[in-house]
Chains A and B, each alone.
Chain A
Amino acid sequence: MLDDVDLTCEAGEIHALVGENGAGKSTLAGIAAGELSADTGEVLRDGRIGLVHQHFALIDRLCVWENVVLGHEPRRLATIDRETARTFVRQLGERYGLDVDPDALVEDLPVGIRQRVELLRELARNPSILILDEPTAALSPGEVERLFSTIARLTENGVGVLVITHKLDEVFAHAGRVTVLRRGIVVERRPIAEITREQVARAMIGGDIPSIPPHERTNGAVVVRVRELVVPGTIENLSLHIAAGEILGVAGVEGNGQSALADALAGLTPFRGSIERPAAIGIIPQDRLVEAVIPGWSLVENAMLGRERAAAKGSWRIDRAAARAQCTAIVERFDVRTTSIDAPLATLSGGNQQKLVVGRALIDNPAFVIAYNPTRGIDIGATATVHSELLAARNRGAAILLISFELDELFALSDRIVVIARGALRGEFTERRFDRDAIGRLMVNA
């Protein structure tokens, strides 16, 4: 994973660690924080190194203060001193601008607040260095600003902060130094003033950034029509339409009804209201490992999942030869890098797995495509492949619903963007005239 890596983080600095997925950033963070062990080399630290994980490692069914004090509970005789614990959480929150209700149950909290809880938990242990692993992946633009103002307060207090990210905007807006990791090797390390975005991007991928095809104008008839959709508990009265040859982007903070919308359109959840859509649809689900693939099965078998009919002979028998041919077609067209189409899917990197999922959704030229975070957690090269294939499908006349938590992705691909918050559409931006600030405000429904 890592090969002879040196990294320093000084008191009071913000040090950005960037690199593609699989470059070894999270491994390095785990080793630094003492959660993983290295084969050779050592970690020298002055004080504690705290780590805030990308997927927050909180205990959902404990309340905030229980999560924060776990392992070092304030005591009164044999019991936990709850009042002291609550006050401790409140005071720590005030000091760093992380206000949270100490008695809230973590599972009831939205993602942005959960991150505050995780920060509080690490700060409660007085770290001298704090490592944040992809801290902004699930935050709205407003929450990102808030997070960085908290980070600024930390550095004022002498804490060194190592931010792991792949968002270069954030690196150049906030960091003092940047280290670029590629395939487990440090390929670049400089103060931020001495390097450009392009140099960092090129160092990350080890070459030029692949370009995506241009956005041609299309004029199609409306093929997807959703009227007054209600999914109890998540979506209240939502209407939208998508034309053939159009990508409709859905912007929103995670957990505001996007999953229910995608599930209702896919036919996976009961709903009220009406949905008209073509029968032939391709789906790129939001969680690859949970909803899209069976990791232990081969590429051929995974490529058939959900489209078994396409490889059927007669009405019931699977035509192995046809299935293999179709899988090979997907692998070649979508640049899935594998040693064999018979290898278990789990042997592929996340990016290559995702390319297979995208290929499976698009290979039969469906009239309607649901793409839910189609590039989450995959590297720049694979992202470019997925983006250009989605645009190619659009240019062929497919109607595409693109739900994404990455505004950059929505801006790059969408013809039109709607903003979803608390289960309803809060705004629409047409003609590719997208206002980042306005969208950010609508996302948090201010």
Chain B
Amino acid sequence: MTLSLVLSLLALALVRGTPILLASLGGVLSERAGIVNIALEGEMTAGAFAAALISFFTRDPWIGAIGGVAVGAAVGFALGFAATRWRVDQIVAGMGINLICTGGAAFGLIFVFNQAGVTPQVPAINQELWPLVILGIILAAALQWALSRTPIGLRLRACGENPHAARAAGIDPLAVRLYASAIAGALAGLGGVFLALGELNLYSDGMIAGRGFIALAAVIFGRWTPLGAAGVALIFGLLEALQFALQGNIAWLPSDFLQALPYIAALIALLGASGRYRPPAAEGKPYP
């Protein structure tokens, strides 16, 4: 393998890994605040669809991108609201949000564009991906620093470990969890934007293809730290890139298997991680 091939593979890995990385950062934030975020998939879907839709009508991909992030945040806020104010089971709420988002996007395609499965081509930001890739990595480092060094980071961690103690210290765990969930939605939405307007220039049903769940695996395998999750997300990106590079080059290996590679890797990673890594102590437990 030549050096240039390796470099292009790594570049592809960064590009493929970035949407997973962004969503996994959201996952880390909401889970450290105490909310299990199984809705990353739905938030990415909502972000991707909204970005394509808005870009189509405004003809400006950056407005589309902002719109996608905002819609992702709104979905995250909805999850947070259900989990904190209504005390809905977070897994159930997350699954519900995933179903609503994928179903809503499919419905929106027919309702708006009068065609099933895919939007028309929309203005995209294909040529300007690197700033977003670098932004993702900087965000990971910034969040790592903020969680350990800033008052708000300490308070967020406190809410995920023991919201009662946080309450006694004058912190409002419900508000912290709600906003953490909304920011998580914005980050996952940005991941969706990256897929719809970055790698492609449209939204199509199933384009998220489980990346939200892979991001969740990255959260767990990265031990709920931003840098850990980002690193694992980029490894998943590398697997996706490998799958592209190998496709058609290995005759005896079915391409279906190569496509399944990242998912199999996620499964194996989770099997290895289960029981060994401890999630935040109050994660998934409604407060009060």
Question: What residues make up the interface of A, taking CB atoms closer than 8 Å to B?
Answer: 35, 51, 57-62, 66-67, 70-73, 75, 78-80, 82, 121
Contact = CB atoms under 8 A, between A and B. Distances in A.
Contact of A57 (B151, B155, B162, B280): B162
Contacts of B171: 70-71
B157 A62 contact: yes
B285 interface: no
Contacts of A82: 149
Given A57-B168, A60-B281, A70 B162 contact: no
Contact of B155 (A51, A67, A71, A78): A71
B177 to A, nearest CB: 15
A20 to B, nearest CB: 25
A60 B162 contact: yes
A160 to B, nearest CB: 20
A323 B29 CA distance: 51
B151 A73 contact: yes
Interface string B152-167: 0011011001101110
B159 to A, nearest CB: 10
B275 interface: no
B162 A80 contact: no
A73 B166 CA distance: 13
B169 interface: yes
A248 B169 CA distance: 44
B154 A60 contact: no
A51 B171 CA distance: 16
Contact of B170 (A59, A62, A71, A80): A71
Nearest to A68: B169
Nearest to A33: B168
B161 A57 contact: no
26 contacts: A51-B168, A57-B162, A57-B165, A58-B162, A59-B157, A59-B161, A59-B162, A59-B166, A60-B162, A61-B161, A62-B157, A66-B154, A67-B165, A70-B165, A70-B166, A70-B171, A71-B166, A71-B170, A71-B171, A72-B170, A73-B151, A73-B154, A79-B150, A80-B150, A80-B154, A82-B149
B150 A62 contact: no
Interface residues of B, number: 18
Contacts of B281: 60-61
B149 A70 contact: no
A35 B154 contact: no
A75 B154 CA distance: 12
B165 to A, nearest CB: 5
A60 B166 CA distance: 12
B81 to A, nearest CB: 24
Q: Which secondary structure characterizes the binding site on chain B?
A: helix
B155 A80 contact: no
Interface string B9-33: 0000000000000000000000000
Contacts of A80: 149-151, 154
Given A57-B162, A57-B164, A58-B162, A70 B150 contact: no
B254 to A, nearest CB: 44
Given A57-B168, A80-B154, 19 more contacts: A57-B164, A58-B162, A59-B158, A59-B161, A59-B165, A61-B281, A66-B158, A67-B165, A70-B154, A70-B165, A70-B166, A71-B170, A72-B169, A73-B151, A78-B150, A80-B149, A80-B150, A80-B151, A82-B149
Nearest to B148: A80
Nearest to B168: A57
Contact of A58 (B150, B151, B165, B280): B165
A76 to B, nearest CB: 10
Cβ-closest 9 pairs across A and B: A71-B169, A71-B170, A73-B151, A70-B169, A59-B162, A57-B165, A79-B149, A59-B161, A59-B165
B60 to A, nearest CB: 33
A317 B157 CA distance: 50
A61 B225 CA distance: 14
A70 B158 CA distance: 8
Contacts of B164: 57
A279 B168 CA distance: 48
A66 B150 CA distance: 11
A75 B150 CA distance: 8
A82 B149 CA distance: 8
Contacts of B157: 59, 62
A22 B101 CA distance: 49
A58 to B, nearest CB: 6
Contacts of A73: 151, 154
A73 B154 CA distance: 9
A109 to B, nearest CB: 15
A72 B151 CA distance: 8
Contacts of A72: 169-170
Nearest to A56: B165
A67 B166 CA distance: 9
Contacts of A78: 150
B119 to A, nearest CB: 41
Contacts of A35: 168
Contacts of B165: 57-59, 67, 70
Contacts of A71: 155, 166, 169-171
A73 B280 CA distance: 22
Contacts of A70: 154-155, 158, 165-166, 169, 171
A281 to B, nearest CB: 30
Interface string B253-288: 000000000000000000000000000110000000
Contacts of B158: 59, 62, 66, 70
Nearest to B161: A59
Contacts of B162: 57-60
A129 to B, nearest CB: 16
